[in-house]
């Protein structure tokens, strides 16, 4: 708490010398104080017991984590010199890169370099470092809180920022979805619920994320519907006995994150976290936060992704799976299809008695039949909730790549030499960001 207070004092001292003081920074600083205190109190009990289980794994990552911190320190110096000293002359669009499970900011090395070359000086590209390696095991909600606090800190230090976008890979997409619900602040008109989604879009167009205008929310191979169910985790090969054993074993291997991904977290009568994240509820305004972004994009591997299945990463049902791709789009190798899916108006996601009973059985006496029934019900509810918003869905296929089985890492080029088949995906993401930036500029000038 003392460190938070020092941040507040330093920040106020700096802001008093600024001619164009913006009152929104008071909200950001206050939020950082409150959220850091809440996070420390809520996580202390859990971390004390869980850290013992993973201490051996943590030792293996000490060198990598210190390297990641060094990377972020140099990036922080860049932000301080370019954005604070130069004020309004600095970049105005913050692009937050969020890595996946057991990963670090270094996973974005190639992607970040390409984005800087293609996007120009208007973007401040920041690779998140608050959830490196085994920190991704502490739960989607815990990681989301840490990411939100990190974003607030970056925004406070870079006064020239006006817009914000997120680009996340794999599990990082769920961290980002939870974080934006914490960072979300509605405008005055959004206190009343509109009659239809078209009105919702117009009413919420000035809603803010971390005090900035939200523009793009992009995920790459993210398990939006979890990993439970037939071939949602392709690593299990769709073998019934493996899919039966995976849910109870997952929490032992990857902590709270495992139970949340397999939809077994919480009490039987309480919806799993991923289902709650498809609506606005007491835990956060998850759908309102997503709706605030002008563009929402999903990139999904059609095949060869051993970690995340196509249905969960594209938020679609099995019968919607496209036909085998014939070829790539011009200029974007391995990007095979782009489809805009407009909002589907229906009753919001909920947790009726049937899935509650199925969840209880799945937790206490799992079997192939009852676990499949539970997942089918919950998956359909999650799809209905997320389809309240329009999405641009991009299908990617590495079937013709030299190493197609690396699809999960190819899609964001984790290693420039081993996973460079995804260079076309990187180019497509960069051009989509640039196109949206140009559209925003034209709209603002009209």
Using CA atoms, how far apart are residues 338 and 346, in angstroms rounded to an integer? 24
Using CA atoms, how far apart are residues 418 and 403, in angstroms rounded to an integer? 8
Any idea of the CA torsion for 186, 187, 189, 193, to the nearest 10 degrees? -10
Least confident among 206-220, 250-264, 299-313, 430-444: 430-444
- Give residue 419's pLDDT: 92
Average pLDDT of the residues in 314-321: 88
- Give residue 374's pLDDT: 78
Using CA atoms, how far apart are residues 252 and 247, in angstroms rounded to an integer? 10
pLDDT tens-digit readout, 6-50 = 333 333 333 333 333 333 333 344 444 434 444 444 444 333 443
- Give residue 21's pLDDT: 33
Using CA atoms, how far apart are residues 332 and 328, in angstroms rounded to an integer? 6
Higher-pLDDT residue of 238, 369? 369
Statement: residue 185 has pLDDT above 90: yes
Cβ–Cβ < 8 Å for 153, 32: yes
pTM: 0.76
Higher-pLDDT residue of 17, 346? 346
- Give residue 240's pLDDT: 60
- Give residue 109's pLDDT: 96
- Give residue 369's pLDDT: 66
Select from 205, 206, 214, 204 the least CA-distant residue to 177: 214
Name beta bridge partners: 394. Answer: 299, 338
- Give residue 366's pLDDT: 61
Least confident among 200-204, 371-375, 396-400, 416-420: 200-204
pLDDT tens-digit readout, 291-304 = 999 999 999 999 88
Going by C-beta distance under 8 Å and a sequence separation of 6 or more, which residues neighbour residue 127? 71, 72, 75, 97, 99, 105, 108, 112
Select from 127, 130, 131 the least CA-distant residue to 94: 127
- Give residue 235's pLDDT: 55
Strand (E) or helix (H) holding 140: helix 140-157
- Give residue 243's pLDDT: 62
Side-chain-side CA neighbours of residue 80 (13 Å): 9
Statement: residue 216 has pLDDT above 50: yes
Q: Is 185 helix (H, G, I), strand (E, B) or coil?
A: strand
Using CA atoms, how far apart are residues 196 and 89, in angstroms rounded to an integer? 40
Tell me the fold of 2-13+23-296+408-445: Rossmann fold (3.40.50)
pLDDT band per the 50, 70, 90 thresholds, residue 376: confident
pLDDT tens-digit readout, 99-146 = 999 899 999 999 999 999 999 889 999 999 999 999 999 999 999 999
Q: According to DSSP H, which parts of 322-389 are helical?
A: 353-364, 368-386
- Give residue 75's pLDDT: 44
pLDDT band per the 50, 70, 90 thresholds, residue 3: very low
Statement: residue 270 has pLDDT above 70: yes
Using CA atoms, how far apart are residues 316 and 372, in angstroms rounded to an integer? 17
- Give residue 352's pLDDT: 67
Average pLDDT of the residues in 174-203: 68
Percentage of the chain with pLDDT > 70? 65
Q: Average model confidence (pLDDT) for the chain?
A: 76
Going by C-beta distance under 8 Å and a sequence separation of 6 or more, which residues neighbour residue 365? none
User: Hunting for tokens 């670090």 — which residue is that?
Assistant: 104
Cβ–Cβ < 8 Å for 260, 272: yes
Where does 194-252 show beta strands of DSSP type E? Answer: 208-209, 213-220
- Give residue 97's pLDDT: 98
Strand (E) or helix (H) holding 236: none
Higher-pLDDT residue of 218, 44? 218
- Give residue 55's pLDDT: 44
- Give residue 231's pLDDT: 57
Using CA atoms, how far apart are residues 278 and 149, in angstroms rounded to an integer? 22
- Give residue 271's pLDDT: 87
pLDDT band per the 50, 70, 90 thresholds, residue 187: confident
- Give residue 184's pLDDT: 97
- Give residue 56's pLDDT: 45
pLDDT band per the 50, 70, 90 thresholds, residue 342: very high
pLDDT band per the 50, 70, 90 thresholds, residue 289: very high
């Amino acid at each position: 708490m003392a460190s938070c207070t020092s941040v507040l004092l330093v920040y106020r001292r700096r802001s008093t010398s600024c001619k164009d003081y913006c009152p929104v920074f008071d909200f950001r600083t206050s939020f950082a104080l409150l959220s850091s205190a809440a996070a420390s109190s809520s996580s202390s009990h859990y971390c004390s017991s869980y850290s013992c289980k993973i201490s051996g794994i943590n030792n293996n990552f000490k060198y990598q984590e210190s390297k990641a911190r060094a990377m972020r320190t140099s990036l922080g110096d860049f932000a301080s010199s370019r954005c604070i000293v130069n004020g309004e002359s600095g970049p105005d669009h913050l692009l937050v890169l969020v890595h996946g499970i057991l990963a670090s900011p270094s996973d974005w090395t190639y992607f970040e370099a390409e984005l800087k070359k293609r996007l120009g000086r208007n973007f401040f590209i920041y690779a998140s470092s608050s959830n490196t390696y085994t920190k991704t095991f502490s739960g989607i909600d815990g990681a989301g809180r840490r990411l939100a606090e990190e974003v607030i800190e970056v925004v406070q230090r870079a006064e020239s920022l006006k817009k914000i976008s997120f680009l996340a890979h794999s599990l990082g997409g769920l961290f980002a979805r939870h974080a934006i619900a914490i960072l979300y602040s509605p405008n005055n008109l959004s206190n009343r619920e509109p009659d239809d989604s078209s009105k919702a879009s117009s009413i919420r167009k000035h809603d803010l994320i971390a005090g900035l205008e939200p523009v793009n929310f992009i995920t790459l191979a993210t398990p939006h519907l979890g990993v439970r169910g037939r071939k949602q985790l392709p690593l299990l090969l769709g073998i019934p006995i493996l899919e039966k054993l995976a849910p109870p074993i997952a929490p032992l291997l990857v902590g709270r994150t495992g139970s949340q991904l397999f939809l077994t977290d919480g009490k039987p009568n309480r919806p799993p976290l991923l289902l709650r994240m498809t609506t606005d509820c007491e835990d956060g305004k998850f759908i309102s936060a997503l709706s605030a972004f002008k563009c929402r994009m999903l990139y999904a591997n059609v095949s060869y992704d051993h970690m995340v299945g196509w249905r969960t990463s594209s938020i679609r049902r099995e019968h919607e799976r496209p036909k085998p791709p014939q070829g790539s789009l011009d200029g974007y190798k391995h990007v095979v299809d782009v489809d805009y899916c407009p909002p589907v108006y229906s009753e919001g996601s909920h947790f009726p008695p049937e899935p509650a009973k199925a969840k209880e059985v799945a937790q206490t006496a799992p079997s192939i039949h009852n676990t499949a029934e539970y997942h089918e019900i919950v998956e359909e509810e999650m799809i209905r909730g997320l389809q309240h918003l329009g999405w641009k869905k991009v299908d990617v296929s590495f079937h013709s790549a030299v190493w197609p089985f690396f699809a999960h890492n190819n899609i964001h080029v984790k290693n420039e030499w081993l996973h460079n088949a995804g260079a076309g995906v990187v180019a497509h993401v960069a051009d989509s960001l640039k196109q949206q930036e140009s559209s925003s500029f034209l709209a603002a000038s009209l």
